[in-house]
Amino acid sequence: MIKTVKDVDLKGKRIIMRVDFNVPMKDGVVQDDTRIMAALPTIQYILEQNPRSLVLMSHLGDPKKDVKKAQEKAEKAGKTWTTEDAEKFINGKNRMKPVVEYFAKKLGKEVTFLPDALGQKEAIDALPQGAVAMLENVRFHKEETSKDSAERDVMAKELASYGDIFVNDAFGTAHRDQASTASIAKFMPVPSVGGFLMEKEVKYIQPMVENPPKPQVAIIGGAKVSSKIAVLESLLKNASALVIGGGMAYTFLKAQGHKVGISLVEDDFIDTAKKLLSDAAAKGVKIVLPVDHIAADKFDANATPVAVDGVDIPDNLMAMDVGPKTIELYKEVLSTAKSVVWNGPVGVFEFDAFAKGTATVAQLVADATGRGAMTVVGGGDSVAAVNKFHLADKMSHVSTGGGASLEFLEGKTLPGIAILATK
């Protein structure tokens, strides 16, 4: 298990802490504060220990990539794009100052905004006793995300000079080998530790891969097989059943020889799907694929739902959700589960007419939790789903990391966790 802030003496120490305040922004206004609120318990605990100072750092989008996308979108729409437009966009999307102001209100304490991630040592040393400060978005510096470790180290070394102890509570970026998430630990005088959020993520996700309570059911959905194949292969080791839903299910159904109409299919992954089905059969793992569907003739929120009572889908239709028979299969397979890991919706839940399957899965996982099963929800869309259906508090754990949870479930070593001391 990783060491946390509770395992070290913080009194009088300068703490440099990586948080994940990469929150959705619109015109400089925070749209969703889930990640900010998730970091508060660790921050409050640190402050209770009377540190010399606490300096927080995070990324907020990726300024260079985000502005490029915005420019391309504007030019595609026939609009001119000026330097002023770029600056206005970055101010509304990537600047940390409005996030700091929002966070300070939630913390109930003044937070000093530092206008850059680098060159701030003098300002940090001058902070009053017990002060909280936050650096500007670390991704304004190319060294943060550089593929060259020597470049990352230059930035990491300076960030390390801001504190005596490094605390990583940014699980959402733990899969990134970056200056502020991993490289910094090399330059700290003492071993680095995790925050409470990092501890909770490791506590719940790691057993799902290594030694879950059995029987384990894994529900893997989402659009593409290509992004989930490594997770499926990893979970095959321990799961008694794999529920495959969402767009990726239709690649598997096509691999079995079924007609899938105009549903989303990755033809390049048909052979991969066949191999996984074969591996599952060899291991005695039950694969649950849709046996009926709610379909439509186009991908549209206002499309008319068409019930397809069978596995094969007519040529003019695409599957948008699972049907009632498939839902019954889900109920059956989840009724005895002692652990459940869920990553990815089973239908287009953003459209109300096609949300029933995912809503039912959310409820079934919540029911399993109520029976004492260990349940973990990971991945951006699954989290959005449990929030939409107001069931997040009915799960054992809802992960804050999209890519990080996926890679953890794949059994990969995450750089932002590997650098932390263990006990």
pLDDT in tens, 111-121: 999 999 999 99
Q: Identify whether the C-beta of residue 164 lies closer than 8 Å to the C-beta of residue 190.
A: yes
In this prediction, residues 228-236 reach a mean pLDDT of 92
Please report which residue ranges of 211-265 form alpha helices under DSSP H.
229-235, 249-255
pLDDT given at position 81: 92
Please state the length of the chain: 423
pLDDT given at position 417: 97
Catalytic residues: 35, 224, 380, 403
**Which percentage of the chain shows pLDDT scores above 70?**
100
pLDDT given at position 91: 86
Burial pattern 270-284, b for ≥16 Cβ within 10 A else e, equals bebbeebbeebeeee
pLDDT given at position 142: 96
In this prediction, residues 354-366 reach a mean pLDDT of 97
Average pLDDT of the residues of the chain: 95
Burial class from Cβ neighbours inside 10 Å (0-12, 13-18, 19+) for residue 374 reads buried
In this prediction, residues 119-138 reach a mean pLDDT of 97
pLDDT in tens, 182-229: 999 999 999 999 999 999 999 999 999 999 999 999 999 988 888 899
d(CA 40, CA 18): 13
Q: Is the pLDDT of residue 398 over 80?
A: yes
Tell me the pLDDT band of 32, cut-offs 50, 70 and 90: confident
Q: Identify whether the C-beta of residue 273 lies closer than 8 Å to the C-beta of residue 255.
A: yes
In this prediction, residues 42-51 reach a mean pLDDT of 98
Degrees, nearest 5: CA angle 173-179-181: 30
DSSP reduced 3-state for 194: strand
Tokens of 192: 């680095």
pLDDT given at position 269: 95
pLDDT given at position 403: 85
Count of beta carbons in the 10 Å neighbourhood of residue 299: 13
Degrees, nearest 5: CA angle 37-40-45: 165
Tell me the pLDDT band of 381, cut-offs 50, 70 and 90: confident
DSSP 138: G
Q: Is the pLDDT of residue 379 over 90?
A: no
pLDDT given at position 326: 98
In this prediction, residues 84-100 reach a mean pLDDT of 91
DSSP conformation letters of 146-168: -S-HHHHHHHHHHHHTT-SEEEE
In this prediction, residues 258-276 reach a mean pLDDT of 96
**Residue 325: what residue type?**
K
Domains and CATH numbers, the chain: 5-60+95-196 (3.40.50.1260), 203-409 (3.40.50.1260)
